[in-house]
C-alpha cells in the first residue's frame, strides 16, 4: 500500500489517488479463415488492434487483417516506442471497396 509522505516533502507536488493503468483486454477479431454456415454482417469500425507488434532489425513489420463488409476509408494509426524509450507515430489510410 502507498503511504503519503509528510506535507513538508510535498511542496509543489499533487498526489493522485484515482484509478491507475487498465488491465489488458483481448481484442475480438472474427475468424474468417474458419468456414461458417451462418454469415453475420461485419460492421466493425475498428478493424485491427495489437499492442505487442515487434519490428525486425530495420524497423519493419507485416500485418494482415480482414476488412469489414461495408465500403469505407479507414484511418490507420500506428504508435510505439523504441527500445530506448523514444516515441514514434504515423497515420495512413486503408480504402475498402
Closest C-alpha to 67, from 93, 26, 95, 34: 95
Question: Which pTM value belongs to this model?
Answer: 0.58
Whether residue 88 contacts residue 80, with contact meaning beta carbons closer than 8 Å, is answered with yes
Q: Which residue has the cell 490507420?
A: 76
Residues 6-63 pLDDT 10s: 555 667 777 777 777 767 777 777 777 776 666 778 888 888 888 888 889 888 899 8
Q: Which residue has the cell 486503408?
A: 94
CA atoms within 13 A on the CB side of 31: 4
Amino acid at each position: 500500500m502507498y503511504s503519503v509522505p509528510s506535507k513538508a516533502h510535498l511542496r509543489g507536488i499533487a498526489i493522485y489517488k484515482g484509478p491507475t493503468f487498465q488491465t489488458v483486454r483481448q481484442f475480438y477479431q472474427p475468424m474468417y479463415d474458419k468456414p461458417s454456415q451462418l454469415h453475420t454482417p461485419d460492421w466493425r469500425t475498428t478493424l485491427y488492434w495489437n499492442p505487442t507488434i515487434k519490428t525486425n532489425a530495420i524497423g519493419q513489420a507485416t500485418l494482415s487483417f480482414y476488412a469489414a463488409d461495408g465500403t469505407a476509408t479507414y484511418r490507420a494509426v500506428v504508435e510505439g516506442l523504441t527500445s530506448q524509450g523514444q516515441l514514434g507515430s504515423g497515420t495512413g489510410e486503408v480504402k475498402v471497396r
